[in-house]
Amino acid sequence: MKEDIFHAVYEAVLTRSERYDGLYYTGIVSTKIFCCPSCRSRIPKPENVRIYSDIEAARQAGFRPCKRCKPEISEPYGPDRRLVQNVTEIIRTRYHEPITLQLLGTDLHTSPYHLQRVYKQLTGITPAQMLLQTRMNTAKRMLVETTLSITEVALKIGFSSPSYFSSTFQTYTGITPSTYKQQKEFQNEA
Ligand SMILES: [Zn+2]
Protein backbone atom coordinates (compact mmCIF):
# COMPACT_ATOMS: atom_id res chain seq x y z
CA MET A 1 0.00 0.00 0.00
CA LYS A 2 1.36 3.38 -1.02
CA GLU A 3 2.38 5.75 1.74
CA ASP A 4 0.15 8.58 0.55
CA ILE A 5 -2.93 6.37 0.43
CA PHE A 6 -2.16 5.16 3.94
CA HIS A 7 -1.97 8.73 5.18
CA ALA A 8 -5.16 9.77 3.41
CA VAL A 9 -7.10 6.83 4.83
CA TYR A 10 -5.64 7.25 8.29
CA GLU A 11 -6.64 10.90 8.15
CA ALA A 12 -10.21 9.73 7.48
CA VAL A 13 -9.93 7.42 10.52
CA LEU A 14 -8.84 10.33 12.72
CA THR A 15 -11.62 12.62 11.51
CA ARG A 16 -14.21 9.81 11.19
CA SER A 17 -14.71 10.90 7.61
CA GLU A 18 -16.85 8.69 5.38
CA ARG A 19 -14.89 9.66 2.30
CA TYR A 20 -13.20 6.26 1.91
CA ASP A 21 -15.99 4.04 3.21
CA GLY A 22 -16.58 1.24 0.74
CA LEU A 23 -13.27 1.99 -0.97
CA TYR A 24 -10.77 1.04 1.73
CA TYR A 25 -10.90 -1.02 4.88
CA THR A 26 -8.75 -0.64 7.96
CA GLY A 27 -7.42 -3.82 9.56
CA ILE A 28 -6.56 -3.27 13.21
CA VAL A 29 -3.62 -5.49 14.09
CA SER A 30 -4.13 -5.28 17.86
CA THR A 31 -7.74 -6.52 17.74
CA LYS A 32 -7.74 -8.52 14.46
CA ILE A 33 -10.86 -6.58 13.42
CA PHE A 34 -11.39 -4.72 10.18
CA CYS A 35 -13.45 -1.56 9.89
CA CYS A 36 -14.66 1.17 7.59
CA PRO A 37 -12.38 4.17 7.97
CA SER A 38 -15.22 6.20 9.54
CA CYS A 39 -15.83 3.62 12.30
CA ARG A 40 -16.82 5.23 15.61
CA SER A 41 -14.81 2.76 17.67
CA ARG A 42 -11.62 3.77 19.46
CA ILE A 43 -9.05 5.24 17.09
CA PRO A 44 -6.18 2.80 16.55
CA LYS A 45 -2.53 3.79 16.57
CA PRO A 46 -1.16 4.18 13.03
CA GLU A 47 1.37 1.38 13.51
CA ASN A 48 -1.54 -1.01 14.21
CA VAL A 49 -3.43 -0.11 11.05
CA ARG A 50 -3.28 -1.99 7.76
CA ILE A 51 -5.20 -0.72 4.74
CA TYR A 52 -7.04 -3.03 2.35
CA SER A 53 -8.90 -2.15 -0.80
CA ASP A 54 -11.31 -5.06 -0.53
CA ILE A 55 -13.01 -7.16 2.10
CA GLU A 56 -11.61 -10.48 0.89
CA ALA A 57 -8.04 -9.28 1.29
CA ALA A 58 -8.78 -8.17 4.84
CA ARG A 59 -10.39 -11.52 5.66
CA GLN A 60 -7.52 -13.45 4.14
CA ALA A 61 -5.11 -11.50 6.27
CA GLY A 62 -6.98 -12.86 9.28
CA PHE A 63 -9.25 -9.92 10.21
CA ARG A 64 -12.87 -10.28 11.26
CA PRO A 65 -15.50 -7.64 10.36
CA CYS A 66 -16.25 -5.04 13.02
CA LYS A 67 -19.65 -5.48 14.67
CA ARG A 68 -20.05 -1.75 15.02
CA CYS A 69 -19.46 -0.37 11.53
CA LYS A 70 -20.29 -3.63 9.71
CA PRO A 71 -17.82 -3.18 6.85
CA GLU A 72 -19.09 -6.33 5.12
CA ILE A 73 -22.31 -4.57 4.18
CA SER A 74 -20.58 -1.33 3.29
CA GLU A 75 -19.74 -1.77 -0.33
CA PRO A 76 -20.19 -0.32 -2.73
CA TYR A 77 -22.95 2.19 -1.99
CA GLY A 78 -22.28 4.58 0.86
CA PRO A 79 -25.72 6.20 1.13
CA ASP A 80 -27.48 2.82 1.18
CA ARG A 81 -25.27 1.60 3.98
CA ARG A 82 -25.95 4.73 5.97
CA LEU A 83 -29.68 4.24 5.47
CA VAL A 84 -29.38 0.68 6.76
CA GLN A 85 -27.38 1.84 9.77
CA ASN A 86 -29.92 4.55 10.56
CA VAL A 87 -32.81 2.09 10.36
CA THR A 88 -30.96 -0.38 12.57
CA GLU A 89 -30.13 2.37 15.06
CA ILE A 90 -33.77 3.47 15.32
CA ILE A 91 -34.87 -0.13 15.83
CA ARG A 92 -32.14 -0.76 18.38
CA THR A 93 -33.02 2.27 20.52
CA ARG A 94 -36.79 2.54 19.97
CA TYR A 95 -37.91 -1.10 19.62
CA HIS A 96 -40.58 -0.58 22.29
CA GLU A 97 -42.34 1.98 20.10
CA PRO A 98 -44.84 1.09 17.36
CA ILE A 99 -42.27 1.31 14.55
CA THR A 100 -43.65 0.95 11.05
CA LEU A 101 -42.10 1.26 7.60
CA GLN A 102 -44.09 4.46 7.20
CA LEU A 103 -42.59 5.92 10.36
CA LEU A 104 -39.06 4.92 9.36
CA GLY A 105 -39.57 6.48 5.95
CA THR A 106 -40.80 9.74 7.46
CA ASP A 107 -37.98 9.87 10.00
CA LEU A 108 -35.31 9.18 7.40
CA HIS A 109 -36.82 11.24 4.60
CA THR A 110 -37.20 8.42 2.13
CA SER A 111 -39.98 6.28 0.75
CA PRO A 112 -40.98 3.18 2.73
CA TYR A 113 -40.64 1.12 -0.42
CA HIS A 114 -37.08 2.25 -1.12
CA LEU A 115 -36.11 1.81 2.51
CA GLN A 116 -37.46 -1.74 2.66
CA ARG A 117 -35.76 -2.74 -0.59
CA VAL A 118 -32.34 -1.35 0.36
CA TYR A 119 -32.52 -2.82 3.85
CA LYS A 120 -33.41 -6.27 2.59
CA GLN A 121 -30.76 -6.11 -0.10
CA LEU A 122 -27.94 -5.27 2.31
CA THR A 123 -28.93 -7.24 5.39
CA GLY A 124 -30.99 -10.12 3.99
CA ILE A 125 -33.93 -9.31 6.26
CA THR A 126 -36.68 -6.68 6.30
CA PRO A 127 -36.89 -3.90 8.92
CA ALA A 128 -39.93 -5.69 10.38
CA GLN A 129 -37.89 -8.87 10.81
CA MET A 130 -35.09 -6.87 12.41
CA LEU A 131 -37.60 -5.27 14.79
CA LEU A 132 -38.97 -8.68 15.76
CA GLN A 133 -35.47 -10.07 16.23
CA THR A 134 -34.48 -7.12 18.44
CA ARG A 135 -37.64 -7.40 20.52
CA MET A 136 -37.29 -11.15 20.99
CA ASN A 137 -33.61 -10.95 21.95
CA THR A 138 -34.40 -8.18 24.41
CA ALA A 139 -37.26 -10.23 25.86
CA LYS A 140 -34.97 -13.23 26.30
CA ARG A 141 -32.49 -11.11 28.18
CA MET A 142 -35.17 -9.55 30.39
CA LEU A 143 -36.69 -12.94 31.19
CA VAL A 144 -33.36 -14.23 32.37
CA GLU A 145 -31.69 -11.18 33.88
CA THR A 146 -34.61 -9.43 35.58
CA THR A 147 -37.49 -10.35 37.87
CA LEU A 148 -40.03 -8.71 35.56
CA SER A 149 -43.21 -10.67 34.95
CA ILE A 150 -44.05 -11.85 31.45
CA THR A 151 -46.69 -9.13 31.17
CA GLU A 152 -44.13 -6.49 32.14
CA VAL A 153 -41.61 -7.82 29.63
CA ALA A 154 -44.28 -7.77 26.92
CA LEU A 155 -45.09 -4.12 27.63
CA LYS A 156 -41.44 -3.11 27.84
CA ILE A 157 -40.66 -4.43 24.38
CA GLY A 158 -43.72 -2.88 22.76
CA PHE A 159 -46.42 -5.55 22.90
CA SER A 160 -49.69 -4.24 24.32
CA SER A 161 -51.07 -7.77 24.58
CA PRO A 162 -49.18 -10.27 26.78
CA SER A 163 -50.89 -13.22 25.10
CA TYR A 164 -49.86 -11.98 21.67
CA PHE A 165 -46.32 -11.58 23.01
CA SER A 166 -46.35 -15.15 24.35
CA SER A 167 -47.53 -16.64 21.07
CA THR A 168 -45.02 -14.56 19.08
CA PHE A 169 -42.22 -15.61 21.44
CA GLN A 170 -43.22 -19.23 21.08
CA THR A 171 -43.26 -19.00 17.30
CA TYR A 172 -39.85 -17.33 17.34
CA THR A 173 -38.02 -19.53 19.86
CA GLY A 174 -40.10 -22.72 19.92
CA ILE A 175 -40.96 -22.41 23.61
CA THR A 176 -43.16 -20.17 25.77
CA PRO A 177 -41.68 -17.25 27.73
CA SER A 178 -42.34 -18.99 31.06
CA THR A 179 -40.67 -22.22 29.92
CA TYR A 180 -37.74 -20.18 28.64
CA LYS A 181 -37.40 -18.40 31.97
CA GLN A 182 -37.62 -21.66 33.95
CA GLN A 183 -35.10 -23.44 31.75
CA LYS A 184 -32.57 -20.65 32.12
CA GLU A 185 -33.07 -20.45 35.88
CA PHE A 186 -32.55 -24.18 36.09
CA GLN A 187 -29.39 -23.97 33.99
CA ASN A 188 -28.04 -21.21 36.18
CA GLU A 189 -28.61 -23.23 39.34
CA ALA A 190 -27.17 -26.43 37.92
ZN1 LIG B 1 -15.62 -0.68 12.98
**d(CA 69, ligand 1 centre) in Å:** 4
Residue 22, pLDDT score: 75
Q: 14-73, pLDDT tens digit by residue?
A: 998 887 787 789 999 999 999 999 999 999 999 999 999 888 889 999 999 999 998 887
Report CA(82)–ligand 1 centroid distance (Å): 14
Q: What's 148's DSSP letter?
A: -
Give the integer Cα–Cα distance in Å for 164 and 160: 8
- Report phi then psi at 40, rounded to 5: -85, 0
Which of 55, 133, 46, 140 minimizes the C-alpha distance to 88?
133
Q: In the prediction, which pLDDT does 102 show? A: 96
CB contact at 8 A, 146 and 134: no
CATH 3.30.70 matches 78-129: no
Q: What is the pLDDT of residues 133-179, one digit of tens each?
A: 999 999 999 999 999 999 999 999 999 999 999 999 999 999 999 99
33 Cα: distance to centroid of ligand 1 (angstroms): 8
List where CATH 3.40.10.10 sits in the chain. Answer: 3-71
Average confidence (pLDDT) over 116-140: 91
pLDDT value for 21: 81
CATH entry, 3-71, from 3.40.640.10, 3.90.1640.10, 3.40.10.10, 1.10.287.130: 3.40.10.10
Q: What is the pLDDT of residue 80?
A: 80
> pLDDT higher for 11 or 78?
11
Distance 42 CA to ligand 1 centre (A): 9
Residues annotated as catalytic are: 35
Q: State residue 186's pLDDT score.
A: 76
pLDDT given for residue 134 in this prediction: 93
Indicate where the chain has its CATH 1.10.10.60 domain(s): 133-189
Integer Rg of the chain from CA: 20
Ion ligand 1, residues whose Cβ is below 5 A away: 35, 39, 41, 66, 68-69
Query: Coil, strand, or helix at residue 188?
Result: helix
Exposure string of 140-174, with b = 16+ CB inside 10 Å and e = fewer, is: bebbeeeeeebeebbbbbbbeebeebbebbeeeee
Topology (CATH level 3) of domain 133-189: Arc Repressor Mutant, subunit A (1.10.10)
Q: What does the angle CA 160 – CA 181 – CA 99 come to, to the nearest 5 degrees?
A: 30
pLDDT given for residue 184 in this prediction: 79
- When pLDDT is cut at 50, 70 and 90, the band that residue 100 belongs to is very high
